[in-house]
Amino acid sequence: MRKRTALFVSLAVAVLLVGISVWAQVSRPYHNGSVWSVAFIRMKPGMDSAYMKYLATDWKKAQEAQKTEGVILSYKVLQTEGHTAGDWNLLLLTEYKNVASLEANEDKAEAIAQRVVGTDEKQMQGYRDRSEIREVMGERLAREIILEPRR
């Protein structure tokens, strides 16, 4: 008799868990994905080649080092037309697993920058040099939404 009761209780719990899982998937047909850091850049007139050269060399080298060490998942550069003279015309996107990993890896990312790019002074000089060829119009964090239930 005890075996039947235990079997019945186990079966009831399994059915309940499956029901809850199905209900959760029906009620929320999406789930959170990775987090993207998005920088809105305006390349100054006539400076496209100079800034693209920086992106293809130093910026890419730093991004690849962070990717290799697991700090970031991926990165992208998207170019668009500016609609006004003061509008951004380039997006720099860096993908992180989630906000927690972005914050947890700040020290690691800084150490990679020191190793790949150089000292704080060299990094600050790079920012000053790039200010001649581009302007950072803004930055945002964006979360990707996966349009399917969590599995």
Q: Tell me the pLDDT of the chain (151 aa) as tens digits.
A: 565 655 454 545 455 555 555 555 558 999 999 999 999 999 999 999 999 999 999 999 999 999 999 999 999 999 999 888 889 999 999 999 999 999 999 999 999 999 999 999 999 999 999 999 999 999 999 999 999 998 8
DSSP state string for 20-37: HHHHHHHH---EEEEEEE
Decide: 28 and 34 in contact? Cβ < 8 Å: no
Through-space distance between the first and last CA atoms of the chain, rounded to whole angstroms: 37
pLDDT digits (tens, 9 = 90+) for 56-79: 999 999 999 999 999 999 999 999
User: Any idea where the domains of the chain sit in the sequence?
Assistant: 31-146
Decide: 82 and 28 in contact? Cβ < 8 Å: no
Let me know if domain 31-146 sits in CATH 3.30.70.100: yes
Tokens describing residue 68: 């290799």
